[in-house]
Amino acid sequence: IDLQLRAGEVLGITGVDGNGQKELAEVLAGLRAADAGRMALAGRDITRASIRERVHTHRIGFVPEDRHATGLVLGQPVWKNFFLRNFYRRPQARRGVLDHRGMRREAERLARQYDCRLRGIEQPAGELSGGNQQKIILAREIEAGPRLLVVMQATKGLDIGAIAFVQHKLLEQRDAGVAVLYISTELEHVLEVADRVAVMYRGRIVGTLEQAQATPERIGLLMSGLAEAAP
């Protein structure tokens, strides 16, 4: 993979599922070690950075592919899920003591801001619709102020309203200067938000197209492995 992503840009990564997209996202997030090569963010080498360093020092946000398995703790209440990323840091904790009252108060605010439809913040996250679950994950990552936001399959299984909300939030982040890497097999959703589209095939990027060039026909050709570059 040879890839550049600019601040204030949404770079879409697409392709048939199973062509290396998940591995790419996990390497960037620190969940999988890179076998070789180098990754740099804002001029700083992050190839061997720990997950904690990526999250807090380098400000990498990550929305995982499976919100049930790796995005949320389904049996825990909504308010706790809002803070899985930063529960041990101020203002959520001071000298190792969690501020439950403050966390609940902030969770109420986030639920309103991100239009989460729920009975209350004590409701288990597993009882929410997929769209509301995704809003919790997005809120958690966006509110941390990321420099790079890696988003995988963000609209999979969501209804039209939730898809529009997610896309709007990603474009807001782009306009605020965040670099957004949007990985999805849902081509129509990639084309709606991406400034550039890169296609993965058998673990490699076989073509990168500007938005004006990124037609379904050209992308489909690259996804099938019939061309190494756009015609």
Task: Report pLDDT for 227.
Answer: 63
Instruction: Give the tokens for residue 21.
Output: 């997209």
Backbone angles phi, psi at 151, to 5 degrees: -125, 125
* Distance from C-alpha of 161 to C-alpha of 40, rounded to nearest angstrom: 36
Q: Indicate the pLDDT class of residue 74, thresholds 50, 70 and 90.
A: very high
Task: Report pLDDT for 63.
Answer: 97
Q: Indicate the pLDDT class of residue 158, thresholds 50, 70 and 90.
A: very high
* Distance from C-alpha of 74 to C-alpha of 126, rounded to nearest angstrom: 4
Task: Report pLDDT for 94.
Answer: 83
Q: 84 exposed, middle or buried (CB, 10 Å; 0-12, 13-18, 19+)?
A: middle
Give mean pLDDT, residues 82-111: 89
Task: Report pLDDT for 231.
Answer: 42
Residue-wise pLDDT for 1-17, tens only, equals 899 999 999 999 999 99
* Distance from C-alpha of 14 to C-alpha of 220, rounded to nearest angstrom: 10
Task: Report pLDDT for 185.
Answer: 94
User: Does position 226 have pLDDT exceeding 80, yes or no?
Assistant: no
